[in-house]
A and B are shown apart, each in its own frame.
Chain A
Amino acid sequence: MSGREAATDGAVVRAVLAGDTERYAELVTRYRDRYARYAARMLGSADAAEDAVQDAFVRAYDQLAQCRDPDKFVGWFFLILRNRCFAERRRSRDVVPLEAAGSIVAAERPDGTMETAERRRALQLALLELTPEQREVFVLKHVEGLSYGEIAERLGTSVPSLKMRMHRAYDRLREQLRDPA
């Protein structure tokens, strides 16, 4: 393994700041997929996640000098991506016809039990109806597998407030996913 491959995030960030712009590609390669699933679940599609991750990397480069602890680049990058996802959902909420997507799900529904793929899609659509804050805590806990404590640390908030948010999310999901019959 070469030294470059083994370079820490901090070493790469410092090299980029010193003028070796191409080294930034190492960070992109290293982390491009780590939060892609988070972004996809937050935004509702892999395409939107692709745009968000791409924008977040460019934005992180623009602000790299302000990354106070280069060794914690990935945590700092996550917050930039998160900000981007929240802004995206705020913008798109008024223009994305979620009802249209819901009708697709309904059309594909077989008689009898719901298939796994359909259940997944129905849940994803229901998640998009939550507030971004509710959706985020659900995604971080049940998709990314983080504990409440880990989420609280990452977002700078308290476990009780996260639980309150999550429990409201459970109720809203139950309401949206209940069998109309």
Chain B
Amino acid sequence: MIEFHPLVKQLLDGELTLADLPPELRRQGEAALRLLAAVDREPVTLPPAVDARVMAAVRRRAAAPPPSFWRRLVEPREVRFRLRPWTLAPVLAAAAVLVLLLGRPAPQPSATPTTVRFVLFAPQAQQVAVAGTFNQWDPAVAPLVRTGAAGVWAVTLTLPAGQHQYAFIVDGARWVLDPAAPAVDDGFGSGRRNSVLAL
């Protein structure tokens, strides 16, 4: 691969100007700026029909009570217990989520919070987080920390009873399903899936 000189990358980042480059890099710098000049910054305006379609879907949902957590679990069209490890990068060859039901011997629905330990094997990751319906899908809220075992990241969260959908985020950007947990369709019929945890 032909790589840009590090100073040219700084030029592209806006940290240097063309005049800051040594003469032998000016031509490469000019070519790099031509690349950026081709960036399409034209605004994109969506058709008004988007509003109508969103609100039609919202009204349908408001009119129908949301399916109960237990019903969603037993409806085969809603929940498919299929693992897709091939969607993971090779570094994520193995992963597991361990659910520790502390102080509650019977796995029955309960209003009491449950302590859940999320564990991910990601030996080459620089940072790992878990995001889901329990933290508004915010990758900044629940970072995993390295454990004593090499490549193993973990975090313990206290979650309310119910169904939670989630995914791991590796290095701040790569969203991956948990292959050790069931994956549930996100309900839009387009095949997108999240890992699911029922407490």
Tell me the bound Cα distance from A20 to B138 in angstroms.
26
Q: Which residues of B come within 8 Å of A, CB atoms?
A: 1-4, 6, 9, 12-13, 32, 34-47, 50-51, 53-55, 57-59, 61-62, 66, 87, 126-127, 129, 131, 133-140, 167, 169, 171-175, 186-188, 190-193
The answer to whether A173 and B127 touch (CB under 8 A), given A53-B50, A57-B54, A79-B137, is no
A33 to B54, Cβ gap below 8 A?
no
Tell me the bound Cα distance from A141 to B9 in angstroms.
13
Query: Is A150's CB within 8 Å of the partner chain B?
Result: no
The answer to whether A123 and B53 touch (CB under 8 A), given A62-B187, A86-B175, is no
B51 to A29, Cβ gap below 8 A?
yes
- Chosen A-B contacts, 8 in total, with CB atoms closer than 8 Å, are A33-B45, A46-B44, A50-B46, A79-B139, A133-B173, A148-B13, A161-B172, A167-B4
The interface residues of chain B lying within 8 Å CB-to-CB of A137 are 173
The interface residues of chain A lying within 8 Å CB-to-CB of B36 are 142
The answer to whether A21 and B9 touch (CB under 8 A), given A83-B137, A122-B38, A178-B2, is no
Tell me the bound Cα distance from A120 to B177 in angstroms.
34
Known: A79-B137, A155-B139, A156-B169. 13 other contacts (CB 8 A): A21-B62, A22-B55, A36-B43, A46-B44, A54-B53, A66-B133, A87-B192, A91-B191, A124-B40, A133-B171, A133-B174, A167-B6, A167-B9
Tell me the bound Cα distance from A173 to B9 in angstroms.
12
Which residue of A is nearest B34, CB measured?
Answer: A119
Total number of residue pairs linking A and B with CB closer than 8 Å = 169
* B57, B58, B62, B192: the one within 8 Å of A84 (CB): B192
Tell me the bound Cα distance from A167 to B35 in angstroms.
14
Q: Which residues of A come within 8 Å of B, CB atoms?
A: 21-22, 24-25, 28-29, 32-33, 36-37, 39-41, 46, 49-50, 53-55, 57-59, 61-63, 66-68, 76, 79-80, 83-84, 86-88, 90-91, 116, 119-120, 122-124, 132-133, 136-137, 141-143, 145, 148, 155-158, 161-163, 165-167, 170-175, 177-178
Tell me the bound Cα distance from A88 to B66 in angstroms.
25
The interface residues of chain B lying within 8 Å CB-to-CB of A41 are 40
The answer to whether A156 and B190 touch (CB under 8 A), given A21-B58, A161-B172, A174-B3, is no
Tell me the bound Cα distance from A136 to B169 in angstroms.
15
Tell me the bound Cα distance from A22 to B58 in angstroms.
9
